[in-house]
Amino acid sequence: MRVAFKMFVNEHSITDYIARHNPIWKELETALYQHGVIEYSIFVDPSHRELFGFAEIESKAEWDSIAQTDICKKWWAHMSDLMPTNADGSPVALELTEVFHLGGRRK
């Protein structure tokens, strides 16, 4: 299963946002894998301060449960000065609907 979403970075915060992901905390990486994340990428559009997230996951329920982990909440707090956030500290994110997918390779 694949999920995609859009988030935003505060003005003048893109460099710091990128730096905080390189490297990602090992504890957070472990939690993501433990919750069924197979692949996870975030792309940035600096001209609009937008982030595009894409993940291949084992299940939506496992993906959603990451938000309940202490390490995820700690990460959100660490990133909160760089991004718009919701009342619970999570980053403002807009889920995107997949309209096309080409899978596998042609032989």
Q: Verify whether residue 21 is a known catalytic residue.
A: yes
89's tokens: 């500290």
Cβ within 8 Å of residue 49, ≥6 positions away = 8, 9, 10, 11, 13, 14
Distance, in Å, from the CA atom of 34 to the CA atom of 87, rounded to the nearest integer, reads 26
User: Of these residues, 12, 21, 78, 101, which one is catalytic?
Assistant: 21
Question: Which residue shows structure tokens 């505060």?
Answer: 10
21's tokens: 């992901």
The helix or strand, by DSSP H or E, that contains position 87, with its residue range, turns out to be none
Residues catalogued as catalytic: 21
